[in-house]
Amino acid sequence: SREVRLVSRPSGPPVPENFELAETDLPAPADGEILVRNLFMSVDPYMRGRMNEGESYVPPFRIGEPLDGGALGEVVVSRAPGLSPGDVVYHGYGWREYAVLDAARARPVGETPGVPLSVHLGALGATGLTAYVGLLDIAGLKEGDVVFVSGAAGAVGSLAGQIARLKGASRVVGSAGSPEKITHLLDDLGFDAAFDYHDGAIGERLARAAPDGIDLYFDNVGGDHLRAAIGALRTYGRVAMCGAISAYNATGPVPGPDNLGLAVGKRLTLRGFIVSDHLDRMPDMVAEVGAWIREGRLVFTETVVNGLENAPMAFIDMLGGANTGKMVVRLGNR
Ligand code: NDP
């Protein structure tokens, strides 16, 4: 079976030479284990942090060892009750063609006609849960809120913006990195306003898109975006601090918002969160977002790259903005 290993730690943006495609022998599944053939795997921004040395909220990847991360696989051999060959499961052993794992670490997923299976890595998986929890539980979205989402054409951002609209936001503004993405936000995803963050000062663009200010900021980017949002937030405004992708490839200290002091006078709440602490909300999210998808009220966009050998480039390109919606790698024929 083939797997992708980390052979060196990136300094700045990752490059293909940081990765290696290698052959490995798989053990036969023991009692309680399953052998799965992976069909799809996820590439995510947090993996960049795990390529650095040193502990964060997840342990770092080890040099010379396979990477891991969210994946969907088909059970080939089962030595565990409750799982049979042909079942499709979500698990954490991506970046490889086959995996042998403890069945307790695999979650069966259903297939919905007309919806790609990879939705379980996106809108109906960790990505959807991040948007849902960040918006509703962390930032406490209220009906009538003016909402700003950065990274809005990406996996989490595209869902956060749509969920905000479906939950009664009065205006949803997004920022993203290309004119095509802006068109997508306005024409396909129902954003009320959107701007390309390369087009001038973010604060000015945001003021034009939300002239009366914003109540809620869903932060995927950090840095200048967070600074602009703090400037635009109204009294009692709330920020879900989801990520700060503008800093992930930095090799030194990065500029933070120099106007954080405004949080006092504006009585702001800025709250960070990690989606894995909120798995109890998965059933609620799947019920609600699943219904919106079936009813055609929420658009699930993805960018699909084929083949394990292309997974490193898919990851590198995702950090560079090549994706619209969720970036996934297809490994099997589904
Ligand atoms: P995306 O699908 O949004 O992909 C990353 C996107 O980031 C790119 O497409 C690119 O789009 C954008 N980007 C890259 N560099 C910059 C930059 N310097 N400034 C602005 N935008 C940039 O990834 P996800 O949806 O998976 O993740 C989005 C955010 O959510 C990340 O910060 C991630 O770390 C965070 N996250 C947090 C979780 C949590 O539990 N707190 C869980 C999951 C994700 P563009 O063309 O617009 O630049």
Its CATH architecture, for the domain 2-119+301-330, is Alpha-Beta Complex (3.90)
Distances in Å between the alpha carbon of 309 and those of 3, 261, 314? 9, 47, 10
Q: Which among 41, 58, 220, 254 is the best mutation to test ligand 1's pocket, defined by most ligand atoms within 8 Å of the CB? A: 220
Evaluate: CB of 245 within 6 angstroms of ligand 1: yes
Q: What pLDDT sits at residue 141?
A: 98
Does any ligand 1 atom lie closer than 6 A to the CB of residue 301?
no
Residues of the chain with pLDDT under 70: 334
220 CB near ligand 1 (under 6 Å): yes
User: Ligand 1 mean position to 112 CA, how many Å?
Assistant: 27
Ligand 1 near 178 CB (within 6 A): yes
Pocket test for ligand 1, best of 48, 199, 202, 245 (most atoms within 8 A of CB): 245
Identical topology for domains 2-119+301-330 and 126-276: no
Which of 156, 276, 279 is the best mutation target for the ligand 1 pocket, counting ligand atoms within 8 Å of the beta carbon and taking the most?
156
Domain boundaries, the chain: 2-119+301-330, 126-276
C-alpha 46/C-alpha 115 separation (Å) is 26
What distance lies between CA 36 and its chain's CA centroid?
24
Q: What is the mean pLDDT of the chain?
A: 97
Q: Is 177 in the pocket of ligand 1 (CB under 6 A)?
A: yes
CA of 230 to the centre of ligand 1 (A): 19
Instruction: Please indicate, yes or no, whether the overall pTM of this predicted structure exceeds 0.80.
Output: yes
Nearest CA to ligand 1 atom 33: 243
Complex prediction ipTM = 0.99
Q: What is the pLDDT of residue 55?
A: 78
Q: What is the pLDDT of residue 294?
A: 93
The one-letter amino acid at 6: L
Report the pLDDT value the prediction gives residue 195, as an integer from 0 to 100.
98
Which pLDDT does position 114 carry in this prediction?
85
Q: What are phi and psi of 264, to 5 degrees?
A: -70, -60
CA of 18 to the centre of ligand 1 (A): 21
With helix as H, strand as E and coil as C, how does the chain read?
Answer: CEEEEECCCCCCCCCHHHEEEEECCCCCCCCCEEEEEEEEEECCCHHHHHCCCCCCCCCCCCCCCECCECEEEEEEEECCCCCCCCCEEEECECCECEEEEEHHHCEECCCCCCCCHHHHHCCCCHHHHHHHHHHHHHCCCCCCCEEEECCCCEHHHHHHHHHHHHCCCCEEEEEECCHHHHHHHHHCCCCCEEEECCCCCHHHHHHHHCCCCEEEEEECCCHHHHHHHHHHEEEEEEEEECCCHHHCCCCCCCCCCCCCCHHHHCCCEEEECCHHHHHHHHHHHHHHHHHHHHCCCCCCCEEEEECHHHHHHHHHHHHCCCCCEEEEEECCCC
Q: 243 CA to middle of ligand 1, Å? A: 7
**214 Cβ partners below 8 Å, 6+ apart?**
146, 147, 148, 173, 206, 229, 232, 233, 234, 237
Tokens of 196: 């390309």
Out of 3.40.710.10, 3.40.50.1970, 3.20.20.140, 3.40.50.720, the CATH code matching 126-276 is: 3.40.50.720
Paired with 239 in beta bridges are 217, 270
42, 70, 95, 140, 185 from 92: Cα distances, Å: 10, 5, 9, 30, 31
Closest CA relative to residue 204, chosen from 183, 236, 175, 177: 175
Rg of the chain over Cα atoms, rounded to whole angstroms, equals 20
List all residues 6 or more positions away from 160 whose beta carbon is below 8 Å from its beta carbon. 131, 134, 135, 149, 152, 218, 242
Give Cβ neighbours of residue 133 (< 8 Å, ≥ 6 apart). Answer: 273, 275, 278, 281, 285
Q: Report whether residue 70 contacts ligand 1, using a CB cutoff of 6 Å.
A: no
Of 212, 244, 208, nearest to 226 by C-alpha is 244
